[in-house]
Structure 1
């Protein structure tokens, strides 16, 4: 029988930086990093949980706008080194690039059988109307939740504004509202109200295999967002970046793009030169359907890879991961279209 009880769990809170970890200094009024050694003093309600909460703070902390693959590797190593000591992990992270980090961690942590819950806030923890306190408490409860001694959400997720989403299905869509994240193509994993209602049918099941952490990421990836009036110089300048191995092509609607001869020739030349082009939609919901309209038929004919309903954030993360694992050419294209961590749906 499923239960959302958090009995005798050990949780590691990992603070990377970001708004949620800031608190107002009573003397100066300035915002300073939260002292996680005094966690129970700042949030005494946490003592009501029947679990031990430890913390790990990166030094130096990093603003999420400065997030990069080398930091993702450090974060994955922290989880790897502490994996057997804890039942779940809560990662406090700035909101701007949280969807990228949650996506890439989902690929780096193969055979993940424990919760890794990302959360953050729009207002600092030390501000009166902060959303950070509730986000943090909810994330702790979800990371600690077990059913018959098995974690209820054994995957990388984002907990924000009373909603739990698969990490590699999200994007930040609002810079001001507390409801800042969207999972446009995948149902919520849970909703938090009086009770936490888990959507068990949508949560990845544990496979009980040994965790395998992948630490090789190849950042030779670029994003090209199409817009009306885009010029040949712009397209070719991106495709001619030295060392570029893959291009995330953000197309219109269901994967549509201009049919101008110069545009198709530029993409075709890039593919012939060894660049994999991954077609994702600019829309926050919906899927790339190569060949549905005439404007996408020719993309498929020259070898552009359709991304189905994957997000741009997840497409970037997955491509860096697969390139780091040594995939290229046809193998890379095949793996990009294969669901690995629940990141895309193939009809």
Structure 2
């Protein structure tokens, strides 16, 4: 007889962990150590559940790299003891957080499922219970004594996504996330159906888990818009100690082809700043050189981000900048799929 999987819930903060005090109508933090009492349906899952909570819950707007490391250290400390992890964070920055965690962990062989909710767990119409219950079920799902999922994922409103492919698309709908450039890894309906051919399959059972806790945060997202001025571009690219830029361009990677714009970007690149081109569109890919308005960017050394999301691009930039790579090697690794975050050419 096989033993039940052990699942660890890591609560960092966010709407999902709030319950209403009906006497005062105020929201207070949920006690996850009593989760089975509050959500008795969890007892039907064939797994053992434990929880760890941040001492002080973090609002998603206050999420930063230091808290990424806190999450990682909890997983690292408990990695051998547990078969899967469910990380609860605020949904507003969940795509950023989960993308970063995917790059900071190498040789992962167990599921790390991020989830949250649009309404507090104690609300009458909450989405929190379904998101939490199914995330735990996914984390505990095994086939042949091995986890079905062995990557960093994000579950929300009946769909499991590769975390570093996601973007939050709605502040009001329960279907808050989308993965425009990669299909859902699983869908929850009457049955929980995994799309096995889309899942990452670990081929390194003998390789040790590697945790990288250092990210370079001297980066910026520069979103272009019609009428943006040279003064704005120059001010941003002249930020002291700036090391990387995610340049959000139009369509398939297009930008102004005016000399002043290209000269400013080229000057930044020549000073050692890595500039990555991602599209402002919710889906699709950057194809540098496809239009005349992207030929100049390609010529001066801007790195085409292909179909990576902005959230994943900023995380990957922070990660690779710490590796001290030369320009050619940096470009090669950025355009290579490291954690399934990009569709290789």
What TM-score do the two structures reach when normalised by structure 2? 0.98
**1:43 maps to which of 39, 42, 48:** 39
Q: Which residue of 1 aligns with 2:263?
A: 265
CA distance in structure 2 between the partners assigned to 1:327 and 1:90 by the alignment: 33
Q: Which residue of 2 aligns with 1:235?
A: 233
The secondary structure found in structure 1 opposite 2:91 is coil
Q: Which residue of 1 aligns with 2:288?
A: 290
Q: Which residue of 1 aligns with 2:337?
A: 339
Deviations 1:197-252, CA, capped at 9 Å, x for gaps: 10101100023222110111110110100000000001011100000011000000
Q: Which sections of structure 1, spanning at least 5 residues, go unmatched?
A: 1-5
Regions of 4+ moved over 6 Å: none
CA distance in structure 2 between the partners assigned to 1:66 and 1:330 by the alignment: 35
Q: Which residue of 2 aligns with 1:137?
A: 133
CA gap 1:220/1:328 in 2 versus in 1, 3 angstroms: farther
CA distance in structure 2 between the partners assigned to 1:297 and 1:92 by the alignment: 43
Q: Is the 8 A contact 1:18 1:64 kept in 2?
A: yes
Q: Is the 8 A contact 1:257 1:295 kept in 2?
A: yes
Deviations 1:284-320, CA, capped at 9 Å, x for gaps: 1000001100001110000000000000000000010
Deviations 1:31-83, CA, capped at 9 Å, x for gaps: 10001111111000111112110000001111011111111111111111110
Q: Which residue of 1 aligns with 2:243?
A: 245
1:165 paired with 2:161, answer: yes
Computed over aligned residues only, the root mean square deviation of the Cα atoms, in angstroms, reads 1.0
Q: Is the 8 A contact 1:88 1:144 kept in 2?
A: yes
The secondary structure found in structure 2 opposite 1:97 is helix
Q: Is the 8 A contact 1:116 1:156 kept in 2?
A: yes
Alignment: residue pair count: 342
Cα shift at 1:326: 2.6
Q: Which sections of structure 2, spanning at least 5 residues, go unmatched?
A: none
Q: Which residue of 2 aligns with 1:184?
A: 180
Q: Which residue of 1 aligns with 2:120?
A: 124
CA distance in structure 2 between the partners assigned to 1:55 and 1:20 by the alignment: 14
Cα shift at 1:7: 6.6
1:56 paired with 2:56, answer: no
Q: Which residue of 2 aligns with 1:3?
A: none
CA distance in structure 1 between the partners assigned to 2:325 and 2:31 by the alignment: 43
The secondary structure found in structure 2 opposite 1:96 is helix
Q: Which residue of 2 aligns with 1:113?
A: 109
CA distance in structure 1 between the partners assigned to 2:268 and 2:210 by the alignment: 34
Q: Which residue of 1 aligns with 2:170?
A: 174
CA distance in structure 2 between the partners assigned to 1:29 and 1:269 by the alignment: 56
Cα shift at 1:328: 4.4
